[in-house]
Structure formats: structure tokens, C-alpha cells
Amino acid sequence: MKYQSIENVAAEAALTPVEAPVLSRRQRLERWAELLERDPQRRLRALMRVEFVPEWDRAGIREDDTPISVAFADPLLRAAGLEGDTFGDARKFFELSSEDAHELLCDCHYYGRMDGETVARRVRSVARPLVQRLFMGS
């Protein structure tokens, strides 16, 4: 091995910028559902009482082992722009309405049992166009 100074290594290095993948909203949501389905029985933690947190504080809500942390652990979703594992990060990246984010992530919709399969099904429901959701009943 030949010793080289950091300046020489830097001068010889060929850095190629990596372009972030461009995913549609539906593709991002489908990827999230796929990640959740990889471990369908995995117990996940819901965010507690989202509706009681003042709106200006909701964006920062987070817990370990949530559906959001499953998404954030994925290199593809991070490369596509998922910035963190907070309620606000999920709303922004997945383009979720306040109601959809609440339904997907708040404990009041899971009655104590949140698992990968259940959340994946709900994420897929949100991914469908509104007209399709109205006619299919969810």
C-alpha cells in the first residue's frame, strides 16, 4: 500500500453525484406498505393521543418502533427525501392530510394492537385515489 496525503487522494478521487430517486406519492406509500409487510406480525408503537397535542407541536411527535421509523430505516425512502421519523416528516414526505396521518399513526385507531400488516393495509388504502376509496369503502 502506498502512502498518499489526503490532498492527493482528494485530487484523484472521482466523485459522482448520486441523484435522488423521484417517486410519486403513490410509489412512496406503496414502498412504505411493502416495508411494513416484510414483517407483518411485527408489533409497532402508535403515536399517543395525537389529536390532543397542540397543532404547532404535532410535527415533532416521535417514538421508537413506529411505522414511521420503519419507513425512515429504508435507504430508498431516505434518498427520495424522507428527512426523519417524526409525525411531521411523515406528513410532508408522504403528502398525508392531517386526517390520514392521524388515522395511520395515532393509537386511538388501533385499540392496543398495531402491527405491520394492519398498518400496511391502511397505508395502501390512503395510496388509492379518493374516487376509488369512496367506491371501495376505505
Give the sign of the dihedral formed by CA 41, CA 59, CA 107, CA 102: negative
Return the amino acid letter for 127.
Answer: A
- Give pLDDT, residue 31: 97
**Integer Cα distance of 137 and 128 in angstroms:** 11
* Residue span of the structural domain in which 54 resides: 29-136
12 part of a folded domain: no
Q: Are 55 and 87 in contact (CB under 8 A)?
A: no
**Among residues of the chain, what percentage have pLDDT more than 90?**
70
23 part of a folded domain: no
For range 83-107, the mean pLDDT? 95
- Give pLDDT, residue 80: 96
For range 59-77, the mean pLDDT? 96
Q: How far is CA 103 from the centre of its chain?
A: 14
- Give pLDDT, residue 14: 61
- Residue 65 scores a pLDDT above 80: yes
17 part of a folded domain: no
19 part of a folded domain: no
- Residue 105 scores a pLDDT above 60: yes
Return the amino acid letter for 74.
Answer: D
The chain-wide mean pLDDT, for the chain, equals 86
- pLDDT band for 38, please (50, 70, 90 cuts): very high
- Give pLDDT, residue 135: 55
72 part of a folded domain: yes
The more confidently predicted of residues 110 and 39 is: 39
37 part of a folded domain: yes
- Give pLDDT, residue 73: 97
| Structural domains in the chain (count) | 1
2 part of a folded domain: no
Q: How far apart, in Å, do the first and last CA atoms of the chain sit?
A: 62
